[in-house]
């Protein structure tokens, strides 16, 4: 009996922490995220919509690299962190529990989340610093300390530093150690169930392909994600496009069901939980936690880009939210919704709802033995790209905490070990603790973003003003800028550097 007590205590602790995490994420955080997105959308005059075409243009010409990482590399690092297995299994579960209308609410929160992502990524650019390796460092921890410190007074300076340290520590724990285990666990289960590959073999293989990339540093991580993320996205979307073409006669009806189900205008479209609130909650939660807008992870990647104006990368990162949710999550949702009633029926939860529902839906539309192999490829690339993105986020925050080259190497080794460990064990308590850390990180980040939002609006005003005067590629100069709330110290946004960036951009 005594031997069972620790297990029981651990189970009780896990259940208690899970209940706390559900309270914070489902009852508090979801409304804070929606409110922040709505506020930032209004104050920026719908920047994510009025400059959407500009964002697409910037991504298309963002491959040029100067001293730090290229704008495109920073974009795909952030996108790699956003796009994971939640875009497959999570979306499938959302439309099962919430019905077709859940997809509509994913779209709504993605549009609001684009404004939040724009704000946090712009702040990451404004308050970034150059590291000894030539790569910029920045993100929530940096703008918490530097931004609040500029408001004057030792009290706010200490508060900003405390907030930054707490945020960075929680990010390193969750993104550096636990979330890579979650992704590798998904890969291992997929290979085991679909191909009979043992988890130990998967663990060894994952460590073998992860270690060389992570130990080579952030530039190599950026180069790998630069081709891996577009490859996985194009492959997945290409197959879904074939599904849509094959099922073209049913597409208009499914789109009507999505809108009707969102407001319960049509009987029979409710999910297993039933009711408008269940549809709304499942859609918003999946949308918010899939695109990671406001969580403070992607801004770390955004800060590494060497761009002429902070708003440039803010717009590019906002487009990442659009691709993650409105493109990829929609692709998953439509694949499921277009399946026959034997695979998907609103209000009926099949045994494979959270695992292989998308695989069953693909096989339903496009029969053949290739589906299992293709879904294995999708799950592997989605999960593995997330691990690479996490490594960049964690390393930047280790640097903020004062870690040097040795600390970065230790982090990379620890992440490699965690990736292998996650394939063979399921540490439920650690995962719950990481989810709690993520929820607290998000709240801390949103407080900082809203507190420093004047810097976002001022920087956007500078960008809009230059474009209104006919400047094709605005360049940001902080020194003596009358729009900024205060003088911004540092040598990143000086007139000399702005001129050099413009010359470099013209040469590109």
> Looking at the domain assignment, is residue 10 inside a domain?
no
> Looking at the domain assignment, is residue 319 inside a domain?
yes
Neighbours of 395 (CB within 10 A): 26
pLDDT at residue 153 in the model: 63
Are 332 and 129 spatial neighbours (Cβ–Cβ below 8 Å)?
Answer: no
**pLDDT, tens only, 474-494:** 889 988 899 999 888 888 888
> Looking at the domain assignment, is residue 488 inside a domain?
no
pLDDT at residue 89 in the model: 77
**pLDDT, tens only, 281-305:** 777 777 777 778 888 888 998 898 8
Share of the chain above pLDDT 70, in %: 88
User: Residue 243 belongs to a domain with what CATH number?
Assistant: 1.10.4160
> Looking at the domain assignment, is residue 495 inside a domain?
no
Does residue 506 carry a pLDDT above 70? no
Least confident of 144-153, 166-175, 407-416, 495-504: 495-504
> Looking at the domain assignment, is residue 287 inside a domain?
yes
pLDDT at residue 6 in the model: 43
Does residue 177 carry a pLDDT above 80? yes
pLDDT at residue 350 in the model: 62
**Which helix (H) or strand (E) covers residue 149, if one does?**
helix 140-149
Mean pLDDT of the region 368-388:
85
Are 204 and 419 spatial neighbours (Cβ–Cβ below 8 Å)?
Answer: no
> Looking at the domain assignment, is residue 236 inside a domain?
yes
Residue 182, beta-bridge partner list: none
**pLDDT, tens only, 319-339:** 989 998 899 889 988 988 888
pLDDT at residue 7 in the model: 40
Are 87 and 332 spatial neighbours (Cβ–Cβ below 8 Å)?
Answer: yes
Least confident of 67-71, 348-352, 415-419: 348-352
To the nearest 10°, report the CA torsion of 344, 346, 350, 352: 60
What SS3 class is residue 111? helix
> Looking at the domain assignment, is residue 481 inside a domain?
no
pLDDT at residue 287 in the model: 72
Of 367, 290, 327, 316, the C-alpha closest to 82 is 290
**pLDDT, tens only, 113-152:** 999 999 999 999 999 988 877 788 899 999 999 988 876 6
| Host domain of residue 229 | 15-476
Q: How far apart are CA 64 and CA 57, in angstroms?
A: 14
pLDDT at residue 447 in the model: 93
In degrees and rounded to multiples of 5, residue 252 shows phi and psi of: -55, -40
Does residue 193 carry a pLDDT above 60? yes
> Looking at the domain assignment, is residue 406 inside a domain?
yes
Q: How many domains does the chain have?
A: 1
The dihedral built from the CA positions of residue 448, 38, 478 and 65, taken in this order, carries a sign that is positive
What does the mean pLDDT of the chain come to? Answer: 83
**pLDDT, tens only, 12-36:** 777 777 777 777 777 788 888 889 9
Q: List C-alpha distances in Å: 133 to 198, 217, 397.
A: 40, 10, 15
Task: Please indicate whether residue 277 or residue 250 has the higher confidence score (pLDDT).
Answer: 250
Neighbours of 235 (CB within 10 A): 14
């Amino acid at each position: 009996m005594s031997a069972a007590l620790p297990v029981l205590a651990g189970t009780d602790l896990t259940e208690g922490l899970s209940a706390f995490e559900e309270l914070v994420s489902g009852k508090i955080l979801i409304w804070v995220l929606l409110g922040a997105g709505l506020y930032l959308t209004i104050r920026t005059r719908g920047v994510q919509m009025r400059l959407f075409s500009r964002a697409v243009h910037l991504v298309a010409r963002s491959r040029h690299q100067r001293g730090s990482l290229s704008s495109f590399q920073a974009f795909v690092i952030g996108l790699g962190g956003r796009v994971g297995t939640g875009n497959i299994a999570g979306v499938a579960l959302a439309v099962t529990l919430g019905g077709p209308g859940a997809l509509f609410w994913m779209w709504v929160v993605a549009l609001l989340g684009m404004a939040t992502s724009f704000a946090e990524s712009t702040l990451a650019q404004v308050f970034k610093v150059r590291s000894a390796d030539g790569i910029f460092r920045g993100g929530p921890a940096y703008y918490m300390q530097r931004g609040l410190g500029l408001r004057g007074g030792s009290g706010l300076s200490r508060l900003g530093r405390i907030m930054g340290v707490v945020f960075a520590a929680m990010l390193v724990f969750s993104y550096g150690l636990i979330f890579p285990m979650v992704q590798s666990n998904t890969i291992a289960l997929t290979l085991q169930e679909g191909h009979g590959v043992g988890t130990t073999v998967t663990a060894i293989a994952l460590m073998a392909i992860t270690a060389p990339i992570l130990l080579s540093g952030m530039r190599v991580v950026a180069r790998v994600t630069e081709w891996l993320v577009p490859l996985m996205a194009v492959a997945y979307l290409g197959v879904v496009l074939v599904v849509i073409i094959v099922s073209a006669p049913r597409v208009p009806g499914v789109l009507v069901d999505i809108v009707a189900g969102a407001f319960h205008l049509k009987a029979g479209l409710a999910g297993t939980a039933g009711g408008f609130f269940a549809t709304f909650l499942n859609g918003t939660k999946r949308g918010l936690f899939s695109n990671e807008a406001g969580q403070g992870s992607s801004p770390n990647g955004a800060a590494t880009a060497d761009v002429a104006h902070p708003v440039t990368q803010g717009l590019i990162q906002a487009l990442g939210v659009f691709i993650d949710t409105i493109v990829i999550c929609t692709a998953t949702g439509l694949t499921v919704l277009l399946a026959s009633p034997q695979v998907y029926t609103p209000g009926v939860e099949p045994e494979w709802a959270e695992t292989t529902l998308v695989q069953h839906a693909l096989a339903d539309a496009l029969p053949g033995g290739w589906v299992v192999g293709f879904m294995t490829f999708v799950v592997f690339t989605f999960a593995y790209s997330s691990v690479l993105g996490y490594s960049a986020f964690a390393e930047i925050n280790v640097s903020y905490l004062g870690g040097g080259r040795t600390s970065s190497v230790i982090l990379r080794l620890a992440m490699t070990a965690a990736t292998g460990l996650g394939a063979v064990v399921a540490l439920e308590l650690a995962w719950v603790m990481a989810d709690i850390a993520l929820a607290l990180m998000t709240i801390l980040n949103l407080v900082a973003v809203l507190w420093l939002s004047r810097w976002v609006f001022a920087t956007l005003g500078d960008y809009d003003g230059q474009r209104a005067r006919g400047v094709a590629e605005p360049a940001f100069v902080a020194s003596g800028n009358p729009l900024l709330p205060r003088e911004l110290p540092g040598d990143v946004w000086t007139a000399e550097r702005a001129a050099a960036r413009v010359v470099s951009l013209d040469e590109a």
